[in-house]
């Protein structure tokens, strides 16, 4: 059997030459993981549990040939963004053996290697996901994760398709009017910001979609919402009171 691993992220498909997954990393294992540890410290201070830090575990290391995607990873590292993605493990070229899904993932370290000769330059990235899901295994979450995937469907394994993938919205969430604080439960009225996290999109793409409530009523219909560099489309100044008056909300 011929095995392959492919990183799928932000519409890119990058062949992986080396894969390593470490779980339950101790605090002193790697001095380059200060960002992860600091995030845990901040959360623990808020909950009053400074002495007993939760596990920082789940670090993914990937190596691949430099082929034009280097800037994406450096932007990911330097800007401190969170990204979602998948690692597909494939055998016999088309059969997917496993899918490693991750959400709220930071890039915490990058290395580049080159040897004299015909070997191409290699890039190694270290990824710290807030949430991971392996097929047939329980979801693992860190205390600083942002996304809520418990109510999101996880697609079963399927053979790779050569067909062009269509843009999808994988999560919809709300923040306050300034777009700074996430809202878990919508108020009855006020101004909020709508965010839609997407896959298989490119920055600048325009999306149109409709959000339907459980009772079948339309909450909002969005036209030509522009996708940003993080794969998120947003609608600012969403007036909850206005939509309630128009009988499109509960």
Question: Mind listing the pLDDT tens digit for each residue in 176-201?
Answer: 888 778 887 777 677 888 888 888 88
pLDDT value for 164: 58
Q: Which residues contact 234 (CB under 8 A, 6 or more apart)?
A: 179, 193, 194, 195, 196, 225, 228
Average pLDDT, the chain: 77
**Tens of pLDDT, residues 232-241:** 888 777 777 6
CATH 2.30.110.20 in the chain, residues? 3-141
More confident residue, 72 or 173: 72
pLDDT over 90 at 75, yes or no: yes
Q: pLDDT band for 6, please (50, 70, 90 cuts).
A: very high
For residue 93, the 8-state DSSP code is: T
pLDDT over 50 at 249, yes or no: no
Q: pLDDT band for 103, please (50, 70, 90 cuts).
A: very high
| Length of the chain (residues) | 250
Q: Where are the beta strands (DSSP E) in the chain?
A: 3-9, 12-15, 18-22, 59-65, 83-91, 95-113, 122-134, 140-141, 168-176, 182-183, 191-199, 206-212, 218-226, 232-239
pTM listed for this prediction: 0.53
**Tens of pLDDT, residues 18-40:** 999 987 655 455 555 666 666 66
Lowest-pLDDT choice from 3-7, 60-64, 92-96, 152-156: 152-156
pLDDT over 80 at 17, yes or no: yes
User: Helix (H, G, I), strand (E, B), or coil: what is residue 70?
Assistant: helix
Q: pLDDT band for 146, please (50, 70, 90 cuts).
A: confident
Lowest-pLDDT choice from 60-69, 77-86, 214-223, 229-238: 214-223
Instruction: Please provide residue 87's backbone torsions phi and psi, each rounded to the nearest 5 degrees.
Output: -115, 120
pLDDT value for 112: 93
pLDDT value for 1: 52
Q: pLDDT band for 151, please (50, 70, 90 cuts).
A: very low
pLDDT value for 248: 45
pLDDT over 90 at 223, yes or no: no
**Tens of pLDDT, residues 105-143:** 999 999 999 877 777 899 999 999 999 988 777 888 887
pLDDT over 60 at 156, yes or no: no
CA distances from 107 to 11, 27, 82, 127, 214 (A): 17, 18, 8, 5, 37
- Please give the CATH topology (third level) of the domain spanning 3-141: Pnp Oxidase; Chain A (2.30.110)
């Amino acid at each position: 059997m011929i095995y392959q691993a492919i990183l799928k992220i932000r519409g890119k498909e990058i062949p992986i030459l080396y894969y390593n997954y470490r779980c339950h990393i101790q605090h002193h294992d790697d001095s380059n993981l200060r960002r992860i540890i600091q995030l845990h410290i901040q959360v623990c201070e808020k909950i009053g549990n400074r002495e007993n830090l939760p596990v920082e575990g789940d670090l993914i290391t990937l190596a691949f040939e430099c082929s034009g995607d280097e800037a994406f990873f450096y932007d990911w590292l330097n800007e401190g963004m969170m990204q979602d993605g998948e690692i597909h493990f494939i055998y016999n070229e088309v059969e997917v053996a496993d899918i490693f899904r991750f959400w709220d993932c930071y890039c915490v370290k990058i290395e580049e290697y080159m040897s004299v000769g015909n070997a191409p330059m290699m890039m190694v990235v270290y990824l710290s996901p807030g949430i991971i899901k392996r097929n047939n295994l329980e979801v693992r979450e860190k205390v600083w994760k942002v996304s809520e995937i418990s109510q999101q469907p996880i697609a079963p394994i399927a053979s790779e398709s050569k067909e062009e993938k269509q843009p999808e919205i994988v999560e919809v969430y709300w923040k306050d009017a300034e777009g700074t604080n996430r809202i878990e439960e919508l108020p009855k009225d006020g101004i909020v910001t709508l965010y839609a996290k997407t896959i298989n999109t490119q920055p600048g793409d325009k999306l149109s979609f409709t959000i339907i409530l459980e009772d079948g009523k339309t909450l909002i219909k969005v036209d030509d919402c522009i996708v940003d560099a993080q794969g998120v489309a947003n609608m600012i100044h969403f007036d909850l009171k206005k939509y309630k008056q128009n009988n499109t909300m509960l």
